[in-house]
Amino acid sequence: MKLFSRYELSACKSTPCFNASLDHYYKRSVRSVRFTFDGRYLICASFSGSCGIFAPEDVIVTDPDSRRTDPKVALCSGPKPWTCVAVLEGHENEVKCAAMDTTGTYVATCGRDKTVWIHQRCKLFKPTDSGDLNRDFGIRQSHFDFFCAAILTGHIHDVKHLCWSPTALLLISSSYDNDIRIWGLVGDDWRCLQVINLHSNTVWSVSFNDSGTSFVSACANGTIAKFKSISALDYKDSLSPFISTSVGFLSVGTLATGRSLEALGKQKALRKFQLTNPLKADDWEVSSVMENVHSRPVYSVDFGEFIISGGGDGKVAILEGSGPLGQPKLAFDAHCGDVNGVAWRRRGDFDVFATVGDDEYLKIWQLCHE
């Protein structure tokens, strides 16, 4: 394995174009930005204490069961205005991370106030709903309204990061208190299913693999750990009837956007199953640990076919995704300063990834497999 291109945009094998800019919307730093699993919405967490959800003007905000809008058209058809369709508020101060679950029903946010908030999407807006946390955004509000379903406590310091399972209603959080917490829906209540205290320092980032059967964590002492769950593996197998079609298999989590009527029907059934059968995995155990992946804190990690990490040493490391963790297959200087974020592109070529650093550069890379 070797690096094919430093940060030439041509590595993406397509012509990138500037799509939109959300200027002057936030008065303080934007700490986290993430697309939803279906690629239709962008969720931003800000130090201003709020979380904004944005969509291009041509994305119709509809019932989560609907798949009328093609994400590729919505996000790649040229410059267009983006609109804020919802603002989630409630945290006392800085929001560190925000993410929507795979069904499009819940948004989780976390922050400096040591809490995790679960915001639930309403199908229809009722003016008498006193639990609504959103501002008024006109006609779109009737289809994209949220209320606070739970405020989860347990972490004793800043909650740094959140990650939903791509296949189930299961959430993991990591914190400055060195702990990882697993959260799930038990009956009508969100509860902490498991606390993992493997690490001896801040856990900056966590990331599931695409099947939801394993996740990795990134620690301030330069360590990356990998975890597995038998319950999550069994749950993945239970999804088989919902993803098998006459033309192949649907993607369970990432960009599950079937086109045929059969695929749309399967997706609706899958979503119903996920909502009515939340995963209660409390059997996560460490499967392998790799120390000194970075000489300084590991600030970001993303679990795809390979595991990619970015650290305070300015380096990016790429590790084998399957099997036990080993020495990085590739490590290189990526930025002049901390590497704050790394992410695989989960559409098209899976060997393209992006990094962002303290040097104010966003770089696009591609791997060449030998």
- Report the 3 state secondary structure along 231-295: HHHHHHHHCHHHHEECCEECCCCCCCCCCCHHHHHHHHHHHHHHHHCCCCCCCCEEEEEECCCCC
Q: Can you tell me the distance from the alpha carbon of 135 to that of 89, in angstroms, rounded to the nearest whole number? A: 9
The length of the chain in residues reads 370
Joined tokens for residue 319: 């590790």
> Higher confidence at residue 47 or residue 311?
311
Strands of the sheet containing 352-357, edge to edge, are 2-5, 362-368, 352-357, 339-344
pLDDT of residue 64: 47
Question: Would you state the structure tokens that stand for residue 108, as one six-digit string?
Answer: 């989780």
pLDDT, the chain, mean: 80
State pTM to two decimals: 0.81
Amino acid at 202: T
CB under 8 Å to 153, separation ≥6 — which residues? 114, 115
- Between CA 256 and CA 323 the distance in angstroms is 26
- State residue 156's pLDDT score: 97
83-111 per-position pLDDT tens digit = 888 889 989 988 999 999 999 899 999 99
Answer whether residue 211 is part of any domain: yes
Q: What's the DSSP call for residue 321?
A: S
Q: At residue 366, does pLDDT exceed 90? A: no
User: Does the structure show a pLDDT above 60 at 68?
Assistant: no
Q: Which is nearest to 199 in space by CA: 227, 218, 171?
A: 218
pLDDT number for residue 27: 66
| pLDDT at res. 1 | 41
Confidence class of residue 38 from pLDDT cuts 50, 70 and 90? confident
Tokens for 295, please give them. 């000489």
Confidence of residue 20 (pLDDT cuts 50, 70, 90): low
Higher pLDDT: 282 or 42? It is 282
CA 318/CA 352 separation, integer angstroms: 12
3-state helix vs strand vs coil in the chain, percent to 5: 10, 40, 45
Based on its alpha-carbon atoms, the radius of gyration of the chain, rounded to whole angstroms, reads: 20
What average pLDDT score do residues 136-147 get? Answer: 55
- Alpha-carbon span 184 to 352, nearest angstrom: 32
| Residue closest to 300 by CA, chosen among 161, 226, 205, 209 | 205
Task: Quote the Cα angle for 38-306-267, to 5°.
Answer: 25
Name the region of 167 (left: φ>0; alpha: ψ -120 to 50; beta: rest): alpha
Residue 124 binned pLDDT confidence (cut-offs 50, 70, 90): very low
CA separation for the pair 42, 310 (Å, rounded): 22
User: Is residue 90 in a domain?
Assistant: yes
Q: Which domain holds residue 110?
A: 19-332
3-state secondary structure 115-138: CEEEEEEECCCCCCCCCECCCCCH
Residues 6 or more apart in contact with residue 90 via CB below 8 angstroms:
109, 117, 133, 148, 151
For residues 362 and 334, the answer to whether their CB atoms sit within 8 Å is: no
Model confidence band, residue 252 (pLDDT cutoffs 50, 70, 90): low
Q: Is residue 28 over pLDDT 90? A: no
Higher pLDDT, 65 or 302: 302
Amino acid at 259: R
* Residue 117 pLDDT: 95
CATH number at residue 106: 2.130.10.10
Strand partners, 317: 309, 331
Mean pLDDT comparison of 46-50, 66-70, 89-93, highest-scoring range: 89-93
Tell me, yes or no, whether 109 lies in a domain: yes
Would you state the pLDDT for residue 144? Answer: 75
Write out pLDDT tens, residues 184-215. Answer: 999 999 999 999 999 999 999 999 999 999 99
* Percentage of residues of the chain with pLDDT beyond 70: 73
Q: Give φ, ψ of 218 to 5 degrees.
A: -120, 130
Residue 316 has pLDDT above 80, yes or no: yes
- State the DSSP H helix or E strand holding residue 117, giving kind and residue range, or none if neither: strand 116-122
Whether 344 is covered by a domain: the verdict is no
Which DSSP symbol is given to 75?
H
Q: Give the model confidence (pLDDT) of 317-344 as tens digits.
A: 999 999 899 999 999 999 999 998 898 8
**Cα–Cα distance list, 54 to 101, 211, 294 (Å):** 16, 27, 35
Q: What is the DSSP letter of 76?
A: H
For residue 137, how many C-alpha atoms fall within 13 Å in the half-sphere facing its CB?
25
Encode pLDDT of 260-311 as tens digits.
666 677 788 888 999 999 999 999 999 999 999 999 999 999 999 999 999 9
**How many domains does the chain contain in total?**
1
